[in-house]
């Protein structure tokens, strides 16, 4: 991957930040590890670059991961040159590349879903094509459609969510909403899911204030969500994770809206660690708690899954935000994913 700190074309989609900047044959990903201090885009030239970007958290957020993976392979194909092989060889080549990309983040449901859908496109193209180039073209077009569809889906979620909140919170002409983690343009192909709802509320003139938590241990809220909200001139306040209950008790929150990593068949959700405590606090204070997620986040899985989906990960942010902040002999328990409600 090459760094391009001067890249500006495609940084914004309307007024929103873009994590993915794509043109046929060219892909740049915003290095989210550097935010909010630096805005640096990395050139992604092939699926190997895409795999590394996903693994190393250059790009994060399930929808964005899936789109970045699909487009990294599209860029590789566009710049591949002559392919010496049959249409069957081309189909096999693409299938192996997709399996490789899925291995970069096995827990990202969107990534595996995207790979499955793209394999179906490849199979259909291979059944009717005699040349490898035809299959490659079909793949590139399908990957590009995924990019457009994700933005359209997010805007629909935002519009519906804003209307839903206004219908169900009739006593609040203007409302303040608390969100968690990052579910905006940086986590998707554009606009966002839960943050997309907040964007829509703001656009309709009914948002009093958006509150976002820091979201330990990776600080997606303080580093990314707060950055997005300020960039879009949305009235925003950042709070410590531990301040959420006090904020609710003080009457500053009309609704909580978050995203989801997965949604089970019975409606249970799994999301970033800390979502569960927000749900409990909201329930205690009688504040409605909503999940904003696209249809492909739903899985017909049992409640047992959501009880056993914890992902343990060592994160320096837990113990060394400003140098060492904990005693070396003290253990720490650091989860990144938990069942929500």
Q: Which residues are catalytic?
A: 261
Coil/strand/helix, residue 181 = coil
**Residue whose C-alpha is closest to residue 72's, from 40, 39, 89, 94:** 94
Sequence-distant (≥ 6) Cβ neighbours of residue 95 within 8 angstroms: 119, 122
Burial of 188 per CB tally in 10 Å (0-12, 13-18, 19+) = buried
Helix and strand numbers, DSSP H then E, in the chain: 12, 15
163 and 156 Cβ atoms separated by less than 8 Å: no
| Phi-psi group of 128: left, alpha or beta (phi > 0 → left; psi -120 to 50 → alpha; rest → beta) | alpha
Main-chain dihedrals φ then ψ at residue 248, nearest 5 degrees: -65, -45
**Residue whose C-alpha is closest to residue 184's, from 338, 7, 23, 32:** 32
Sequence-distant (≥ 6) Cβ neighbours of residue 326 within 8 angstroms: 319, 332
Which of the 8 DSSP states describes residue 323? B
Q: Alpha-carbon distance 200 to 283, whole Å?
A: 25
Can you say how many angstroms the Cα of residue 77 is from the centroid of all Cα atoms in its chain? 25
């Amino acid at each position: 991957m090459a760094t391009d700190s001067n890249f500006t074309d495609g940084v914004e989609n309307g007024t929103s930040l873009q994590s993915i900047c794509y043109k046929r044959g060219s892909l740049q990903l915003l290095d989210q590890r550097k935010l909010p201090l630096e805005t640096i885009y990395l050139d992604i030239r092939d699926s190997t670059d895409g795999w590394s970007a996903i693994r190393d958290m250059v790009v994060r957020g399930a929808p964005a991961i899936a789109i970045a993976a699909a487009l990294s392979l599209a860029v590789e194909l566009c710049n591949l040159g002559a392919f010496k092989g049959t249409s069957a060889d081309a189909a096999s080549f693409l299938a192996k590349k997709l399996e490789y990309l899925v291995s970069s983040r096995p827990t990202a449901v969107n990534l595996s879903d995207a790979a499955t859908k793209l394999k179906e496109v490849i199979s259909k193209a291979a059944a009717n094509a005699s040349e490898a180039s035809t299959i490659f073209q079909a793949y590139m077009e399908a990957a590009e459609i995924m990019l457009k569809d994700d933005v359209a889906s997010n805007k629909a979620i935002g519009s519906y969510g804003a209307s839903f909140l206004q219908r169900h919170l009739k006593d609040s002409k203007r409302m303040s909403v608390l969100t968690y983690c990052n579910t905006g343009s940086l986590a998707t192909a554009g606009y966002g899911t839960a943050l997309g709802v907040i964007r829509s509320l703001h656009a309709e003139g009914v948002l009093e204030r958006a509150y976002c938590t820091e979201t330990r241990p990776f600080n997606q809220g303080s580093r990314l969500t707060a950055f997005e909200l300020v960039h879009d001139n949305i009235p925003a306040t950042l709070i410590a994770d531990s301040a959420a209950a006090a904020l609710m008790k003080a009457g500053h929150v009309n609704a909580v809206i978050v995203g989801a990593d997965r949604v089970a068949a019975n409606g249970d959700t799994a999301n970033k660690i800390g979502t569960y405590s927000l749900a409990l606090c909201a329930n205690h204070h009688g504040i409605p708690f909503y999940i904003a997620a696209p249809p492909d986040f739903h899985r017909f899985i049992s409640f047992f899954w959501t009880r056993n989906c914890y992902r343990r990960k060592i994160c320096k942010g837990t113990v060394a935000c400003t140098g060492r902040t904990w005693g070396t002999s003290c253990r720490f328990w650091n989860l990144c994913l938990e069942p929500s409600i």
